[in-house]
């Protein structure tokens, strides 16, 4: 095989493995009275993160309190769809997407009291902030 041809083959196979489709499902948001219910189970499943960790992040970011009921987070207060989606994107950027290679194929690992991101695509490993 010619070198050029080989190189092309490597490049094209690389392209397909890196082109993982990452389209997190939209969350259902319902407002009733002074409460906002966000259905998180599908999203947590898709991004492969503990639902409680995601819920904790949202409560912290929205400076609200809430409780989990099944796969739903019930927040005290009314929060709009745009704001919630913005916070979810923030979570994904911080805790899912690899800072080094931008791959979503990562794992959240807890060691002692600290969280780390381990990237399955490039092997990067770095600490991420703890949600207070
Ligand atoms: Zn990576």
Which pLDDT does position 4 carry in this prediction?
74
Distance 24 CA to ligand 1 centre (A): 18
Find all residues with CB under 8 Å of 70, minimum gap 6, and list them: 41
User: Which CATH number characterizes residue 71's domain?
Assistant: 3.30.30.170
**pTM > 0.85:** no
Distance 17 CA to ligand 1 centre (A): 13
Burial 48-65 (b: 16+ CB within 10 A, else e): ebebebbbbbbbebbebe
Interatomic CA distance for residues 131 and 94, integer angstroms = 11
Mean pLDDT, each 10-residue run in order, the chain (132 residues): 66 51 93 97 97 97 96 97 97 97 95 93 95 79
Distance 124 CA to ligand 1 centre (A): 5
Q: Is residue 126 part of a domain?
A: no
Q: Is residue 89 part of a domain?
A: yes
Q: Answer yes or no: are the C-beta atoms of 35 and 52 closer than 8 Å.
A: no
Which 3 state secondary structure label does DSSP give 32?
strand
Distance 99 CA to ligand 1 centre (A): 7
Domain of residue 50: give its range. Answer: 22-99
Distance 120 CA to ligand 1 centre (A): 7
- Phi, psi torsion values for 29, nearest 5 degrees: -125, 130
Structural domains in the chain (count): 1
């Amino acid at each position: 095989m010619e070198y050029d041809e080989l190189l092309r083959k490597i490049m094209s196979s690389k392209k397909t493995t890196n082109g993982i489709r990452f389209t997190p499902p939209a969350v259902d948001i319902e407002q009733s009275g002074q409460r906002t219910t966000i259905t998180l189970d599908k999203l947590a499943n898709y991004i492969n993160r503990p639902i409680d960790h995601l819920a904790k992040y949202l409560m912290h970011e929205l400076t609200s309190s809430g409780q989990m009921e099944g796969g739903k987070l019930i927040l005290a207060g009314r929060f709009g769809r745009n704001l919630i989606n913005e916070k979810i994107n923030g979570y994904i950027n911080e805790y899912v997407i690899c800072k080094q290679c931008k791959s979503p194929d990562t794992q959240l690992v807890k060691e002692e009291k600290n969280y780390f991101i381990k990237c399955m695509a490039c092997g990067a490993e770095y600490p991420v902030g703890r949600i207070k």
